[in-house]
Amino acid sequence: MSRVSNQSASLKALDSVGRRLSGVYAEAFLAAAEKAGSAESATVELRELVIALSGEGNELMAFIASPTQSRESKTHVIGALSKAGASEFLLDFLHVLNDHDRAELLPAISDSVEEILLDRTGKVKVFVTTATGLDDAVAVSLTAGLRSKLGKDPVISASINPDILGGLVIQVGDWVWDASLSKQLDGLRDQLFERGNHAIQGGRDRFRSDK
């Protein structure tokens, strides 16, 4: 069975342009890492850096991603990461992102790198959102169903959003399947609203015809 991951779903939050750019930078990152013979270690280092910068109480990722901070101040922060043991390869990549004012894409780029590597091994990242968490039995059934539909081995990234009330929301790339209770309730509300409008309009029409 594919593992259930709780890693960042940064790509999910981006628009199509942001996802495309993240993919472009991810491809460039992997190409350069492979040329240097360090694709595996560079990928792990990138993911670990994103996790460290985004950890609870750590505001460095927010600082690097902020459009209100100057490029020079971000350069200073990136340079300081060398003291924390960041490789020259990763530092150079971060400076490239900063020079193009794309540092905010760092978490999404890390996710894109992971997706590219998964795709190369016949796997695909699937984001699943539930109201209370994804239990093991549902994960097993969902994995089997997705494998049959997608033709690839799904790697599930599970997250919790109480606002959906129940059911689940599945996202694979740009494709989203919303089977949440909140979505169903919204649909029911719209149907009732539409029926109410028809009834009101029908009553008005009958009133006019009676005149």
The DSSP secondary structure of the chain, one letter per residue, reads -PPEE----GGGGS-HHHHHHHHHHHHHHHHHHHHTT-HHHHHHHHHHHHHHHTSTT--HHHHHH-TTS-HHHHHHHHHHGGGGT--HHHHHHHHHHHHTT-GGGHHHHHHHHHHHHHHHTTEEEEEEEESS---HHHHHHHHHHHHHHHSSEEEEEEEE-GGG-SEEEEEETTEEEEEEHHHHHHHHHHHHHHHHHHHHHHHHHHHHHH-
pLDDT beyond 50 at 103: yes
Radius of gyration of the chain (CA): 23
Mean pLDDT rounded to a whole number for the chain: 82
DSSP per position, 21-51 = HHHHHHHHHHHHHHHTT-HHHHHHHHHHHHH
Q: Quick: pLDDT tens for 177-197.
A: 887 776 666 655 555 556 555
- Is 8-117 in CATH node 1.10.520.20? yes
Task: Assign 125 a pLDDT band (cuts: 50, 70, 90).
Answer: confident
List, by residue range, all CATH 1.10.520.20 domains of the chain. 8-117
Write down the pLDDT at residue 161. 87
> Do residues 156 and 4 lie in contact, with contact meaning Cβ atoms separated by under 8 Å?
yes
Write down the pLDDT at residue 208. 60
Q: Quick: pLDDT tens for 108-123.
A: 999 899 889 988 899 9
Q: Quick: pLDDT tens for 23-35.
A: 999 999 999 999 9
Write down the pLDDT at residue 4. 44
From CA 22, how far away is CA 112, in angstroms rounded?
Answer: 6
Write down the pLDDT at residue 154. 92
**What's the pTM value of the predicted model, to 2 decimals?**
0.68
From CA 32, how far away is CA 39, in angstroms rounded?
Answer: 8
